[in-house]
């Protein structure tokens, strides 16, 4: 593929590296800072840093666009790229709201292009393995999922773009919580009802720093999820309960700790379960794995990547929690 990257920050750089590793051509870059676009372009022979994203999506020599900007431009750039006939990989949450994203979904369908959303957590090795075990029936029919995800921010976090509702569209629930929602939907299916609470406990900012929610799914299963940016020790944990066993994913590498998957298999005599644990001390391979799934989707094969529909559904859940929290949810720090 010949790929253009819009948004040349941390994530844009990771995507470029992954694209090159997979044999694709990073052909053009764009960023609100031309300097940043040029810095990234320089690392990839033949890559042009262009003046802006409009110019980039219009280029005839690209078949694919990666959109890795901050939240406020994700949807509009994706829409323009889709209308220009490009396949798009857009970073999560793909938009500030479901309202913003629905038109993109329609446009993509009309244009006949493939759009996938960068819910890369699905592609972490522990989660891929968990999914494989669930699909193989290793824990039986699923009952509920428990998710905890959070970080401790950093000095001045409440002055960054993520604390600005205009730029971010929401707070922690939209930022990290949306990963939990996506993973829960990935395992339990569509959300039929949600109850939750978004509150601001610590940071001096007009978006929530904690989101608590309970998702109900068609088959009666439940998601019990909490995302926090006042989680002083970085944490990721997803526990998946079936009628014959449990899977637990801990860590995402780096400051989130060693990634591992524990499989607890209930025995006929019950009592302590049979326990197997896999650890993943290596580098984060989720970016490559996700892009391979994107390639497959472009080639018309079904894959495990998140669609625009998945992102719309996750954003609907976020919006429902915000609506329920309107009265009392957001309190002063």
In the complex, what is the shortest distance from the CB of residue 220 to a second copy, in angstroms, rounded to a whole number?
5
Q: Pattern 227-256, binding to a second copy, x per CB under 8 A?
A: -x-xxxx-------x-x-xx--------x-
Interface with a second copy (CB under 8 A), residue from 149, 212, 287, 294: 212
For position 153 contacting a second copy by CB under 8 A, the verdict is yes
Nearer to a second copy, 54 or 193 (CB): 193
In the complex, what is the shortest distance from the CB of residue 86 to a second copy, in angstroms, rounded to a whole number?
35
In the complex, what is the shortest distance from the CB of residue 280 to a second copy, in angstroms, rounded to a whole number?
8
For position 199 contacting a second copy by CB under 8 A, the verdict is yes
| Contacts within 8 Å (CB) and 24+ apart, 8-14 | 8/33, 8/36, 8/37, 8/39, 8/40, 8/68, 9/36, 9/68, 11/68, 11/91, 11/118, 12/40, 12/66, 12/68, 13/40, 14/287
Nearer to a second copy, 102 or 148 (CB): 148
CB-based contacts of 124, cutoff 8 Å, min separation 6: 249, 252, 259, 280, 284, 286
Which candidate, 78, 80, 82, places its Cα nearest to that of 93? 78
Question: Which residues in the chain belong to E strands, given as ranges?
Answer: 2-6, 25-30, 48-49, 64-67, 87-91, 115-118, 142-150, 191-199, 210-217, 222-228, 235-242, 245-250, 259-265, 274-280, 306-307
Nearer to a second copy, 103 or 285 (CB): 285
Stretch that binds a second copy, among 99-107, 140-148, 168-176, 291-299 (CB under 8 A): 140-148
For position 93 contacting a second copy by CB under 8 A, the verdict is no
Which candidate, 92, 20, 13, 62, places its Cα nearest to that of 288? 20
Interface with a second copy (CB under 8 A), residue from 44, 53, 119, 144: 144
Which candidate, 64, 121, 113, 112, places its Cα nearest to that of 92? 121
Interface with a second copy (CB under 8 A), residue from 44, 53, 197, 322: 197
Q: What gap in Å lies between CA 171 and CA 212, rounded to an integer?
A: 12
In the complex, what is the shortest distance from the CB of residue 154 to a second copy, in angstroms, rounded to a whole number?
5
In the complex, what is the shortest distance from the CB of residue 256 to a second copy, in angstroms, rounded to a whole number?
11
91 - beta bridge partners? 118
In the complex, what is the shortest distance from the CB of residue 274 to a second copy, in angstroms, rounded to a whole number?
8
Q: Count the residues of the shown chain that bind a second copy, applying the rule CB under 8 A.
A: 47
Q: Are 319 and 128 in contact (CB under 8 A)?
A: no
CB-based contacts of 7, cutoff 8 Å, min separation 6: 30, 31, 66, 67, 68, 69, 70, 73, 91
In the complex, what is the shortest distance from the CB of residue 304 to a second copy, in angstroms, rounded to a whole number?
22
Q: Are 196 and 124 in contact (CB under 8 A)?
A: no
For position 154 contacting a second copy by CB under 8 A, the verdict is yes
What number of other Cβ atoms are within 10 A of residue 106's Cβ? 12
Interface with a second copy (CB under 8 A), residue from 33, 109, 110, 275: 275
Stretch that binds a second copy, among 108-116, 143-151, 288-296, 301-309 (CB under 8 A): 143-151
For position 173 contacting a second copy by CB under 8 A, the verdict is no
For position 146 contacting a second copy by CB under 8 A, the verdict is yes
The footprint of a second copy (CB under 8 A) covers 143-144, 146, 148, 152-155, 195, 197, 199, 201-202, 210, 212, 214, 220-222, 224, 226, 228, 230-233, 241, 243, 245-246, 255, 264, 266, 269-273, 275-282, 331
């Amino acid at each position: 593929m010949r790929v253009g990257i819009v948004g040349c920050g941390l994530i844009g750089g990771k995507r470029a590296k992954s694209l090159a590793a997979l044999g694709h051509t990073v052909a053009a870059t764009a960023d609100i800072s031309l300097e940043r676009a040029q810095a990234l372009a320089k690392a990839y022979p033949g890559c042009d840093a262009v003046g802006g994203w409009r110019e980039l999506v219009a280029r005839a020599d690209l078949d694919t666009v990666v959109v890795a900007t901050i939240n406020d431009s994700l949807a509009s750039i994706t829409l323009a790229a889709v209308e220009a006939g490009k396949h798009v990989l857009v970073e999560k949450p793909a938009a500030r709201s479901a309202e913003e994203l629905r038109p993109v979904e329609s446009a993509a369908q009309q244009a006949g292009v493939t759009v996938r959303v960068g819910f890369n957590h699905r592609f972490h090795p522990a989660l891929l393995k968990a999914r494989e075990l669930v699909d193989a029936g290793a824990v039986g029919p699923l009952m509920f999922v428990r998710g905890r995800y959070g970080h401790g921010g950093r000095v001045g976090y409440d002055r960054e773009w993520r604390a600005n509702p205009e730029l971010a569209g929401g707070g922690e629930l939209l930022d990290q919580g949306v990963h939990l929602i996506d993973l829960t939907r990935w395992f339990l299916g569509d959300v039929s009802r949600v109850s939750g609470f978004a509150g601001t406990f610590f940071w001096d900012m007009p978006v929530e720093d904690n989101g608590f929610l309970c998702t109900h799914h068609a088959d009666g299963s439940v998601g019990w999820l909490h995302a926090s940016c006042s989680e002083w020790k970085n944490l990721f944990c997803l526990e998946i309960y079936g009628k014959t066993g449990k899977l637990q994913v801990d860590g995402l590498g780096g400051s989130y700790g060693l990634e591992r998957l524990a499989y607890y298999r209930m025995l006929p005599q019950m009592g302590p379960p049979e326990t197997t644990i896999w650890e993943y001390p290596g580098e984060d391979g989720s970016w490559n794995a996700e892009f391979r799934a994107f390639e497959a989707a472009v080639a018309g094969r079904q894959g495990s990547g998140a669609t625009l529909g998945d992102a719309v559904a996750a954003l609907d859940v976020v919006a429902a929690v915000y609506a329920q929290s309107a009265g009392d949810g957001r309190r002063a720090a």
